[in-house]
Amino acid sequence: MKTLTLILALVISVNMSAQNDHIKYAAFNIVSSSIIGGIGSGIHHKENESFGKAFVNGAWKGAISGSINSVSKEMLRIQSERYDLDWRLCWGSKIVNSVSNTMLYNATMNESSLLKHYSIDIGFIRLSTDYTVQIEPISLACFTGIFFSGGKFDVSKSLTIGTPVFLQQMLSTYGKTYANNITINNQQYYVRHNGKLLSYTPNVILHELTHTYQRLQYSSINNFLTIYNKYENIKPIHNDLSSFDILYLLNKTYFENEAMFYGNNN
Ligand SMILES: [Zn+2]
């Protein structure tokens, strides 16, 4: 019955998605997180538990995580519609997003509690209820890399959004995301909105912020690999880029469209 309800809910959400972009992207988040949660949980099934039973439990938790994840992205969308950054909405969105990532992580690990190992990523620092502070090596490497290649750290924008923002000259695009760091073009771009000429920079940042969310969301896939990890003492990493890269290549168009929708008010 539980399985049937889950399948039905997923089918309905996919069908409804054809009608409205908000529902379309929410549905994709719910379905993809549900699949990630299900497979991860199945792999981590307990000794007295079948793969199928663990899969359904994880898929449910993944679906909850996916719906919360889309709420965090909607909070970015509210700002992109205004062509403005609001630190309360940015930090609120970041916290909601971290809750959804924690839930997905627990789903893939077949944990009974949804909020165990709660963690939030602020730049290359991961604050967690397990181990107080952790450094995320890839984000740190990118942070120093951008800094030494001439990126100008923007304190005000970084504090507003809770993710490092660098201004960079000669960037070929509006902005770029490097792990949990954002670079934006030093050049100013403007957009006409309600008869006013507004800076386009907030939307560039919101677009890149969506990419950082995508990376955190789908890096949970790495948890599948942890059972094959010979270094059993090492905590499961959900910050490795390798799996995300594969997924990113497969879904490049989708990820770009999603970032355009939530970040650029497309
Ligand atoms: Zn993009």
Which residues, 6+ apart, have CB-to-CB distance to 164 below 8 Å?
123, 124, 143, 153, 158, 180, 181, 182
The pLDDT score that the predictor gives to residue 72 is 98
* Neighbouring-strand partners of residue 178: 181
Average pLDDT in the chain? 85
Residue 256 has pLDDT above 50, yes or no: yes
Ligand 1 mean position to 47 CA, how many Å?
42
Q: Give the burial string for 72-91 (b: 16+ CB within 10 Å, else e).
A: bbebbbebbeebebbeebbb
Ligand 1 mean position to 261 CA, how many Å?
10
The more confident residue out of 231 and 37 is 37
Kindly calculate the radius of gyration of the chain based on its CA atoms and give it in whole angstroms: 19
Residue 201 has pLDDT above 50, yes or no: yes
For residue 251 the two structure tokens come to: 């879904």
The pLDDT score that the predictor gives to residue 235 is 38
Q: Which residue has the tokens 């309905």?
A: 12
The pLDDT score that the predictor gives to residue 188 is 84
Number of domains comprising the chain:
1
Ligand 1 mean position to 256 CA, how many Å?
5
Give the CA distances from residue 200 to residues 154, 164, 172, in Å, rounded to whole numbers and listed in that order: 16, 18, 16
Residues 234 and 237: their CA atoms lie apart, in Å, by: 8
Range of the domain at 196: 2-264
Q: Which residue has the tokens 């008869």?
A: 195
Give the CA distances from residue 87 to residues 135, 160, 161, in Å, rounded to whole numbers and listed in that order: 24, 5, 6
For residue 65 the two structure tokens come to: 């995580």
The pLDDT score that the predictor gives to residue 250 is 57
pLDDT digits (tens, 9 = 90+) for 134-183: 898 889 999 999 999 999 999 999 999 999 999 998 777 899 999 899 99
The pLDDT score that the predictor gives to residue 234 is 35
Ligand 1 mean position to 83 CA, how many Å?
17
Mean of pLDDT values over 121-125: 94
Give the CA distances from residue 40 to residues 44, 104, 110, 170, 222, in Å, rounded to whole numbers and listed in that order: 6, 9, 7, 42, 9
Which residues, 6+ apart, have CB-to-CB distance to 21 below 8 Å?
261
Q: How many CB atoms lie under 10 A from the CB of residue 111?
A: 19
Q: What percent of the chain has pLDDT over 90?
A: 66
Mean of pLDDT values over 37-59: 94
Q: What is the pTM for the complete model shown? A: 0.86
- The backbone torsions φ and ψ at residue 39, rounded to the nearest 5 degrees and listed phi first, read -65, -45
Ligand 1 mean position to 211 CA, how many Å?
7
Count H helices and E strands in the chain, helices first. 10, 9
Residue 156, Cβ density class (10 Å: 0-12 exposed, 13-18 middle, ≥19 buried): exposed
Choice among 35-49, 96-110, 209-223 with the minimum mean pLDDT: 209-223
Ligand 1 mean position to 125 CA, how many Å?
23
Q: Which residue has the tokens 């499961």?
A: 236
